[in-house]
Amino acid sequence: MHKLQSLERKVAEAIHWIEDFVFERRYQLNCSGYIENRKLETIHSAALPHSMAYQAVTCAAIRELIDEVEKTGIVFDHFIDLGSGKGKACFYAAMRFPFRKIIGVEFSEPLVEIARDNAARFGAENIFFVNADAASFCLPPGNNLVFLFNPFSESILKKFLESNADRFRQSRSVIAYANDQHRLCLARAGFVTLFRNQDTQGSLHQYITG
Ligand SMILES: C[S@@+](CC[C@H](N)C(=O)[O-])C[C@H]1O[C@@H](n2cnc3c(N)ncnc32)[C@H](O)[C@@H]1O
């Protein structure tokens, strides 16, 4: 039984690897690699100790969250990736839904440059990458689908939520959180969990007023 489960897991991993390979090849994207957090180059030095490593999300992880959020029936204006790295989540989102605007927020300039090169090859005119600390990023007005792939610690997330509290109150925005290590921070800020998969640790959260 144990051997069968282990074999199933290996087959699933191989399928995910092939899917990611095909996705990146199809759009000529360079999203590969792993960069330890202490090796990330950034001018936002105060945020560096709170950063996680760079690693691209898998298509499977973001697909699960987009499939679930579609069930809410909310029409989103923007897709925002906080800690966008080389941009993979933004390109996947663009492929799945005609967002008016897609913004990747990344605090490491070299990663922003790679994401912009990827965007030129991907060929969409509504995808933008900005070099900023997510803690001080202001959401645009409208319904935002805010994506996080475990980018940083609770303190950055808390600052982002505090400075965008009005935007969340005034819209039907949703936070899609892959590898949701600091999801309790969202509950403390007044968000309810719309969906969570305990196995993948992906979840969706929405601010509920009243
Ligand atoms: C796990 S990677 C996720 C990359 C991308 N979202 C994806 O799914 O492919 C986390 C990214 O967050 C970035 N990051 C960490 N702290 C940040 C901060 N305070 N503001 C903006 N980006 C940050 C890192 O440089 C890294 O590229």
128: three-class secondary structure by DSSP: strand
Q: Which one, of 167, 200, 207, lies nearest residue 185 by Cα? A: 207
CA distances from 108 to 12, 55, 64, 82, 132 (A): 32, 13, 27, 12, 8
pTM of the model: 0.96
Q: Is the CB of 150 under 6 A from ligand 1?
A: yes
Report CA 189 to chain centroid distance, whole Å: 19
Do the beta carbons of residue 133 and residue 44 sit within 8 Å? yes
Beta strands in 57-186 (DSSP E): 78-82, 101-106, 127-131, 144-149, 174-178
**CATH number, domain 2-207, options 3.40.50.150, 3.40.50.2020, 3.30.70.20, 3.40.50.9100:** 3.40.50.150
Question: What are the pLDDT tens digits along the chain (210 aa)?
Answer: 788 889 998 999 999 999 999 999 999 999 999 999 999 999 999 999 999 999 999 999 999 999 999 999 999 999 999 999 999 999 999 999 999 999 999 999 999 999 999 999 999 999 999 999 999 999 999 999 999 999 999 999 999 999 999 999 999 999 999 999 999 999 999 999 999 999 999 999 999 875
Domains in the chain: boundaries: 2-207
Substitution site in 152, 154, 164 for ligand 1 pocket (most atoms within 8 Å of beta carbon): 152
The helix or strand, by DSSP H or E, that contains position 35, with its residue range, turns out to be: strand 34-35
Residue nearest atom 9 in ligand 1 by C-alpha distance: 56
Report CA 48 to chain centroid distance, whole Å: 18
Cβ neighbour number for residue 142 with a 10 Å cutoff = 16
Cβ neighbour number for residue 166 with a 10 Å cutoff = 11
Q: Is the CB of 83 under 6 A from ligand 1?
A: yes
